Amino acid sequence: MVNCGSKGSDVRGQPRILISNDDGIAAPGIAVLQRVARQLSDDVWVVAPEQEQSGASHSLTTRRPLRLHQLDERRFAVDGTPTDCVLLALKRLLRDHPPDLVLSGINAGSNVGEDLTYSGTVAAAMEATLLGIPAIALSQAYIDGHGIPWGTGEAVAPEMIRRLLQRQWPESTLFNINFPAVPPGTSVTIAVTSQGRRAIADNLTDGVDPRGRPYYWIGPAPEHGKAEPGTDVAAVADDMISITPINLNLTNLPVLNELRDMFEA
Ligand code: MN
């Protein structure tokens, strides 16, 4: 049993920050996020999946045991999902001194609109939120063939996080931040957005494997049409930083009231 949450390992007076992601422990974006977190605290911990888990959503590994591999004093890999990582970090590794903040990312590619329901990046922040720890998901948009402009998000993330930490953290809520696909150094504005929707076309590629059997490969969803203004989808398309408050209570309140009239009246 690893337990690094004991006294002596904490850095006094500094917020404890836990970092996870869904691109895996070796992904470049998690190194960027570590640099961001180190601007806010010296007490930064990383618990991330051994393998890429993009599209894992909020899945939990229950049919086999999980292993926590220590790579460094405060850096661990888990052979599981982003949700597994946050769960193990909060319930075992850091249980005696839980983090004040969980950061997830920085994901290679935006997480907007419907992505929120597929994203392992957002799911790590969801898990932290469910367990009562403030959490932020961060993603960096990029254009295929142009590299990932990590410096764009890295330049503004520390100050955005600092400002979010200054306010009372809302209950059951995480913040989803997306940085636009513009070169580092570009001046970017922040848009406060709602979760949008995209007009998603068929994203299945059909092929035939070397043994002659058909296969289907899910690719990035081709988009068409214009995004609704005020949404995360529109903001990132317009080269703005998007920040969306995401509520983990999924109840549709107007419909709940309609149902009461229908079934309870
Ligand atoms: Mn990912």
CATH code of residue 52: 3.40.1210.10
Give the distance (Å) from ligand 1 centre to CA of residue 113.
15
* Tens of each residue's pLDDT in the chain, 265 residues: 444 444 444 566 799 999 999 999 999 999 999 999 999 999 999 999 999 999 899 999 999 999 999 999 999 999 999 999 999 999 999 999 999 999 999 999 999 999 999 999 999 999 999 999 999 999 999 999 999 999 999 999 999 999 999 999 999 999 999 999 999 999 999 999 999 998 777 788 999 999 999 999 988 777 767 889 999 999 999 999 999 999 999 999 999 999 999 999 8
Give the distance (Å) from ligand 1 centre to CA of residue 146.
18
Please identify which residue in the block is written with the tokens 């920085």. 106
Give the distance (Å) from ligand 1 centre to CA of residue 23.
4
DSSP code for 200: B
Please provide the size of the chain in residues: 265
Give the distance (Å) from ligand 1 centre to CA of residue 165.
25
What is the CA angle 56-194-165, rounded to 5? Answer: 80
Give the distance (Å) from ligand 1 centre to CA of residue 264.
44
Give the distance (Å) from ligand 1 centre to CA of residue 188.
23
Rounded to 10 deg, the angle between the 28-38 and 150-166 helix axes is 40
Has residue 42 been placed in a domain?
Answer: yes
Give the distance (Å) from ligand 1 centre to CA of residue 5.
28
Has residue 123 been placed in a domain?
Answer: yes
Looking at the DSSP assignment, which residues form a beta bridge with residue 70? 76
Has residue 207 been placed in a domain?
Answer: no
Are the CB atoms for 82 and 50 separated by under 8 Å?
Answer: no
Give the distance (Å) from ligand 1 centre to CA of residue 11.
30
- Give the domain range for residue 182: 17-198+228-263
Has residue 34 been placed in a domain?
Answer: yes
Give the distance (Å) from ligand 1 centre to CA of residue 221.
15
Give the distance (Å) from ligand 1 centre to CA of residue 121.
6
Has residue 209 been placed in a domain?
Answer: no
Q: What residue type is assigned to position 208 of the chain? A: V
Has residue 217 been placed in a domain?
Answer: no
Domain total for the chain?
Answer: 1
Has residue 7 been placed in a domain?
Answer: no
Give the distance (Å) from ligand 1 centre to CA of residue 56.
9
Give the distance (Å) from ligand 1 centre to CA of residue 250.
23
Give the distance (Å) from ligand 1 centre to CA of residue 147.
15
Has residue 76 been placed in a domain?
Answer: yes
Name the residue among 58, 152, 65, 4 with its Cα closest to residue 20.
58
